[in-house]
Amino acid sequence: MATLTLKERFMNRLRGKEVDMTPVGSTTTYGVVDFMKKCGYERPLADTDPVAMTELAYAGHQYGGFEWVKAMGWDITAMSEALGCELGTPKIDLQYSIKTHPYADNLDKLAFPSNFLERGRFPVYKEHFKLLKEKVGERMVIFGETEGAFTCAANLVGTELFMKWCMKRPDDVFKVLEVTKQAAIATANFAFDNGADYFVFAEPSSGPALLSPRLWEKFVLPVEKEIVSKVKGPVVLHICANTDPIIEMMCETGVAGISIEEKADLKRAVEIAHKKGVKVFGNVATATTLFSGTPEQVYQEAIKALENGTDFLCPGCGIAPRSPLENIVQLKKARDDFFK
């Protein structure tokens, strides 16, 4: 097989073509303190400054061995912020979080703003995409990521309250989702227009730990389907925790790939996904192995993920900021050894 560029290898794999080896990287956030120390750009500056954001994105490749890079920062609050949520204060090892839920009491003023892409950090992201594109050219894939429509809706109302609404006030749930769906389509298309090769929607609030599969089918599936049908490029759906009960439905959304955590059965997910032409990203444990395990444990877990057929060897979720660099580099080492 002719030598592939990192970008060719990634896109060939995503499109179901033959590749020489499994791409290795992260399809979720990697605001890692060790990367910041190495590249000289720290958060919270790297949360709002396009240069710092770009250098930290590239540090994943430069120091972590990741074969593609992430745009759009180190949290999943961008849509919620642009729709009116106030955010907590980030630190070097603490990402932005949702502080207020502007529509908990009243949905009367809820509407999709015509200037949505001029709000929040979108202007910063635009500049950042330009810089990142200049840096990596056509060598590597760039992806964008935000929260998905359901998680954004839960942020606007408050997760606990929103879950109650799913049972008792379904009409209001659909009302909020109508707005966040428009936000999701606009956000993904903004990323594609600015040079992203694929886009990740993270939907932690829709995971089986919070939402039953029956309600997932009712509220999340139709919304994700519509979003995917209206965006300009491939989408990857990331959901935390044990997604075994909803893997089939995740693959029915029309996405190109699903990203799953170590709590899910990777081997089974791969079998289900491949039948539907969907690729699987995952699933080395972030909260345990990458964060507090030994390099050897990371290495072994990465090998196991490769043996179980992962299409893209990745952490199962966003990498904890204080995860040691010597653990992170084991992903690429394991992949290289596996394909020797």
| pLDDT for residue 236 | 99
Residue 126 sits at φ, ψ, to 5 deg, of -60, -50
238, β-bridge pairs: 202, 259
Across the range 165-177, mean pLDDT stands at 98
Nearest to 250 by CA among 216, 288, 283, 301: 216
Q: How far apart are CA 138 and CA 192, in angstroms?
A: 15
321 CB-near residues (< 8 Å, 6+ apart) = 31, 32, 33, 43, 92, 93, 94, 95
Q: How far apart are CA 35 and CA 50, in angstroms?
A: 16
Contacts 24+ apart (CB under 8 A), 160-164: 161/101, 161/104, 162/205, 163/210, 163/211
CB 311 within 8 A of CB 279: yes
3-state secondary structure of 30: coil
CA distance to 190, 225, 244, 282, 299, per residue, from 197 (Å) = 12, 19, 28, 19, 28
Across the range 33-37, mean pLDDT stands at 98
Residue 268 sits at φ, ψ, to 5 deg, of -65, -40
* Lookup: tokens for 315: 């952490």
Q: Kindly report whether the peptide bond that precedes residue 222 is cis, defined as omega within 30 degrees of 0.
A: no
pLDDT, the chain, mean: 98
- How is residue 68 annotated by DSSP? E
- How is residue 246 annotated by DSSP? G
| pLDDT for residue 121 | 98
Across the range 154-175, mean pLDDT stands at 98
255, pLDDT greater than 70:
yes
CB 149 within 8 A of CB 177: yes
Residue type, 116: F
| pLDDT for residue 2 | 73
What the chain holds in terms of domains, given with CATH numbers, is 26-335 (3.20.20.210)
Render pLDDT for 57-100 as a digit per residue (tens, 0 to 9): 999 999 999 999 999 999 999 999 999 999 999 999 999 999 99
Across the range 113-124, mean pLDDT stands at 98
Render pLDDT for 184-224 as a digit per residue (tens, 0 to 9): 999 999 999 999 999 999 999 999 999 999 999 999 999 99
Render pLDDT for 228-244 as a digit per residue (tens, 0 to 9): 999 999 999 999 999 99
| pLDDT for residue 1 | 66
Residue 286 burial (C-beta neighbours within 10 Å; 0-12, 13-18, 19+): buried
